[in-house]
Structure 1
């Protein structure tokens, strides 16, 4: 038995499961980011049955009008260029006033979720019909890395006993299969973005997403989609200005309110941002919603954007290590941990006082997260890393999600401790948790996973 067969045997039989018509849709901004990243792929079937291929995903629109400009699509061999609008529901086209707004006249595709009960007709102000694409629940679930069905009401702990009774070799086999399954899904997601844009764009987005762990993954991803690596120059000050300005962190008075030793740096940022501001500044309504409260100083979005700007200056060296054959986790971690910056090696935020002690621009734990969630999966997929080499890497840090997962499956952190020491084991537990558990800890009385464990060999 392998992990894929286990999933198939559990979810496909006619068991007593609740099935939802559509997973709870994330905010519209996240749906737009998923679309632009290529998470849904590029080949679709339109509402009217015609085949659609996205030739070019376009660019984020920083002004009024549709979400993406300069896009290109192919419908049954006919090529169209123009804008793409993404809405949570097909009904939003009318309710948002797009049908009478001249700014939407050049729209060539309307993408929506949550199919309505009534028929919709998407048209422009001059009554031209716009092709409609409805993203299915399965496509959304895959893009969100969610199981396509949700488990029935569950009780925490029904798999505790079978997992404890499993022979160690059987449990090792289960975790290896789950880790491999998770890596394959992550590699597929990375390659979707690479196919939609470029390998550098996919690597830049993956790195930004990792830097956003702790509540800012989506804002970081939106930031680099709007300020892509292809548009950032080799000049450090310009790169920093574009990233911090596009993020919405700069204003003309910032340097006046800051500690004296940071004023020159902030003034330079603002002066450089002012030169490129018209090309990069999004309207206020489309600025990322940054999480700044309740953050550890090391996780503050100012620091994470700072780390990203430093990395851009070392992009060729970083790219070489990230895509190396064979891929070396240690080489990449040492490189990232060794990055330095005159300002960010001693400041937590744009306006914080200087720290006497040096601060890592890109910490080792964060570097390991980047490898585990993006670079190792890609390297495994491309045969640049063998699983035994993945298996040997240890990672002592555990976040809240991993702790919840460990307690759910093993009953306590102490019991789970032997299975929390390796990167591959951590990823495997997260995958099992994602595939078979709900975070509400309700009732898993009817879940077949514990019984299936007895058959694992």
Structure 2
């Protein structure tokens, strides 16, 4: 018996056992009319079941254990919540159980009714040491089954991400523009510098930029100054002017710069240096202040991309990766992959969250459509599933895969996974 109780939940729920000539352990004829609804909270495992014992039809709950004696180990004998259990389903019957009123609890033993082949299939999934349990079988599962479950995991992923957005939105008293600005800034950090970007965005609220929207130099000064990069000695004209401008703005708005030591440069391509990302972020603010309002109006993915293309980045960064460090030639525009990353992780997320928050299906549908328009992400996780035979044609599928890996495969929740259940059912 090398399986958990969850396996028996699956066996009972899908009737994956020999249910011909069923009898209780006390010899009563048994017929399952309805196995009930799986309960994932406290209380009996299945609610609203319906069975026939002898000539009587019973409606109530079903409790499932590996052994009958587990009822006692779990102290169900003193819990009134289990008094309406009409059948105790176990793998091995090793003890008679009585209810609180003294009546004997009917038991169905499954030990001789579950095929060894099914148990073997489950063990092959659950005990695998590969990158994910069904790596050898998933490529043979019907695409409709896979796509259907990935749709579910994608929605799960975005609903979980929505919680973080809602938390910040509440903190900012329902200010969608400011909330979007903070998440956009964090996205510009692309994981490695996400935290300092977030701290920098908190240091300079978006409404301050609006007062200087016609002065790109002042916006650049606010960005690099608040990020902590202007607390140095310079000789070049561009950083000297930024520093002088920020000293004035810092006093005017009482700004506290981020500790410059938080920014990471090691093991990064120069075009991904935080200084280049900050220059691009400043240019984005110059080009389109109050981005959230604009994004809510744009429906076409091509038009959305144009917001992040041809940014008016200062010419200084064409020959610099960092202040005081000259380079021969620098690509100062955001690459297509990075733009897609922003559209996926910030724009689509906010469309989805706004739709959920306002109960407006229109914006949720726009978020889904945007994901379907973006290419699938290519990383160490998605590549493993692609190699195993899963087809990922867009970001909708790849986001679903990331959720599948983290919350189902890594946690060995094969019996809660539509793909895992299908594999177990296959002959």
Q: What TM-score range do you get, normalising by the shorter chain?
A: 0.5 to 0.7
What secondary structure, in the 3-state scheme, does the structure 2 residue paired with 1:161 have? coil
Q: For residues 388 and 228 of structure 1, do their structure 2 counterparts lie closer, same or farther at Cα, with a shift above 3 Å needed?
A: closer
**Residue number in structure 2 paired with 1:393:** 373
What secondary structure, in the 3-state scheme, does the structure 1 residue paired with 2:325 have? coil
- Counterpart of 1:222 (choices 180, 199, 213) is 199
**Residue number in structure 2 paired with 1:90:** none
- Counterpart of 1:164 (choices 124, 139, 144) is 139
CA RMSD of aligned residues (A): 3.5
**Residue number in structure 2 paired with 1:422:** 394
CA contact (8 A) 1:345 1:361 kept: no
Q: How does 1:110-149 map to 2 (within 5 A)?
A: none
**Residue number in structure 2 paired with 1:448:** 414
Post-superposition Cα deviations, 1:224-269, rounded to whole Å, max 9, x if no partner, equal 011111223323222222221221111341x22xxxxxx1111111
**Residue number in structure 2 paired with 1:251:** 231
Q: For residues 171 and 157 of structure 1, do their structure 2 counterparts lie closer, same or farther at Cα, with a shift above 3 Å needed?
A: same
* Unpaired stretches in structure 2, ≥5 consecutive residues: 1-36, 46-63, 67-125, 356-361
- Counterpart of 1:321 (choices 294, 315, 318) is 294
1:239 aligns with 2:219: yes
- Counterpart of 1:334 (choices 302, 306, 312) is 306
CA contact (8 A) 1:344 1:361 kept: no
Post-superposition Cα deviations, 1:104-137, rounded to whole Å, max 9, x if no partner, equal xxxxxxxxxxxxxxxxxxxxxxxxxxxxxxxxxx
Q: For residues 319 and 377 of structure 1, do their structure 2 counterparts lie closer, same or farther at Cα, with a shift above 3 Å needed?
A: closer
Post-superposition Cα deviations, 1:188-247, rounded to whole Å, max 9, x if no partner, equal 432332332111111111111111014001110111011111223323222222221221
- Counterpart of 2:266 (choices 293, 298, 305) is 293
Question: How high is the TM-score relative to the length of structure 1?
Answer: 0.56
Distance 2:65 2:348 in 1: 36
Question: How high is the TM-score relative to the length of structure 2?
Answer: 0.59
Distance 1:158 1:10 in 2: 25
- Counterpart of 1:431 (choices 378, 403, 410) is 403
CA contact (8 A) 2:279 2:314 kept: no
1:184 aligns with 2:166: no
CA contact (8 A) 2:151 2:397 kept: yes
**Residue number in structure 1 paired with 2:277:** 304
CA contact (8 A) 1:223 1:247 kept: yes
**Residue number in structure 2 paired with 1:88:** none
Distance 1:160 1:389 in 2: 29
Q: For residues 182 and 217 of structure 1, do their structure 2 counterparts lie closer, same or farther at Cα, with a shift above 3 Å needed?
A: same
Distance 2:278 2:65 in 1: 47
What secondary structure, in the 3-state scheme, does the structure 2 residue paired with 1:159 have? coil
Distance 2:140 2:338 in 1: 34
Q: How many residues align?
A: 292
1:367 aligns with 2:339: yes
